[in-house]
Structure 1
Amino acid sequence: MPAPSRPPADSPLGLLMSTLPRAGRVEWIGLRPARGAAMREVDSVEAAVGAGLSGDRYKGGSGKRDVTLIQAEHLPAIAALAGHDALAPATLRRNLVVSGIPLVALKGRRFRIGEVVLEGTAPCDPCSRMEEALGPGGFNAMRGHGGLCARIVSGGTLRLGDAVEALAEDPA
């Protein structure tokens, strides 16, 4: 079944979908050096087209999952649903924690983080490791809150505090 198409950018629904309340901000950066290895928290990382994030296990992967992002505002919801008081960002194994912008609105469109241009490719669904990380029901606690996968369109350095801004869409 083909993916549903987006409404034309100049249609009423297209205009609503392209209007965001404000820019977001990078709150945390983490790298997964190897499968099952602990996340490594960093202040900045190089992002390269076709190569992913320097030091991340997905470096040089398919391009659809060069970078994984999760919404900071969802961390308390996931924690509550999993029966925890709070969660460290590394527990959820995403590369970037961002605040202030709805990640779901970036699926299928390009956005800029600092000097890097990304394109949202797919929801970042939870994996079975969330049962280990969060306890029984952890997988389901993350469903709908897993974040976004993105490919790198234009490389550069990602830094803590960088703005996260949707790029203007061309009318279809």
Structure 2
Amino acid sequence: MSVANILGIYVAPAKGAGVIGHQKVSLRAGKGIEGDRYFSQTGKNRSNYKGQPDWEITLIESEVIEAFNQEKGHSFHDSDFRRNLVTQGIRLNDLVGRFFTINNVSFYGVQLCEPCASLQRRLAVSILPELVGKGGLRAQIRGNGVIGVGDQLTPVEKI
């Protein structure tokens, strides 16, 4: 099994605001990333999926971004996709319905984080249907702690 790492961490402090990169962030179970718009409950998309909150943190694979840029001739930065964590070395779709850890903080993969028309408008290029099924993961934060760029992401076999 290859090692999965966190390559980038991004937070948007308010709806419509640009994302800000961080080397480390504090997480709170059931709340999200401190400083993120959803943590402060000002975010519009606080939602549930099959009774599970799915707004606490989002992830996307750097490999998906690289492939999209290469195939379409773009040069988007990882932060342009507006996910909180950019990963390398793991297929996030495989984490739906599973627990995983980053720096001893527990997470639960709730559902895929599909690209939306809002992101497509922001990027001003077609991402639908190109990124359907590849847009990342929505997850719950199940523990408190600090995570940082370079930390390993590890799937948990069983709880």
TM-score (norm 1): 0.80
Matched, 1:67 2:57: yes
Q: Which has the larger radius of gyration?
A: 1
Partner of 1:18: none
Matched, 1:43 2:23: yes
Take 1:150 and 1:131, find their aligned partners in 2: how far apart are those partners? 22
Q: CA deviation at 1:82?
A: 4.3
Q: CA deviation at 1:81?
A: 4.7
- The runs of 5 or more residues in structure 1 that have no matched partner are 1-20
Could you say what secondary structure the match of 1:141 adopts? coil
TM-score (norm 2): 0.86
Matched to 1:76, the amino acid is E
Partner of 1:167: 156
Question: Equivalent residues in 2 for 1:80-91 (5 A)?
Answer: 80-84=70-74, 86-91=75-80
CA contact under 8 A between 1:27 and 1:161: conserved in structure 2?
yes
Take 1:166 and 1:101, find their aligned partners in 2: how far apart are those partners? 9
Q: Residue 28 and residue 99 in structure 1: after superposition, are their counterparts in 2 closer, same or farther (change >3 A)? A: same
Could you say what secondary structure the match of 2:129 adopts? helix
Take 2:10 and 2:152, find their aligned partners in 1: how far apart are those partners? 17
Partner of 1:3: none
Take 1:129 and 1:42, find their aligned partners in 2: how far apart are those partners? 24
More helix by share: 1
Percent identity over the alignment is 32
Matched to 2:100, the amino acid is F
Matched to 2:85, the amino acid is L
Could you say what secondary structure the match of 1:76 adopts? helix
- The runs of 5 or more residues in structure 2 that have no matched partner are 48-52
CA contact under 8 A between 1:49 and 1:154: conserved in structure 2?
yes
Take 2:71 and 2:117, find their aligned partners in 1: how far apart are those partners? 16
Matched to 1:101, the amino acid is I
Of 53, 62, 69, 2:33 maps to 53
Could you say what secondary structure the match of 1:105 adopts? helix
- C-alpha RMSD of the superposition: 1.6
Q: CA deviation at 1:138?
A: 2.5
Take 1:50 and 1:113, find their aligned partners in 2: how far apart are those partners? 16
Take 1:24 and 1:49, find their aligned partners in 2: how far apart are those partners? 22
Partner of 2:144: 155
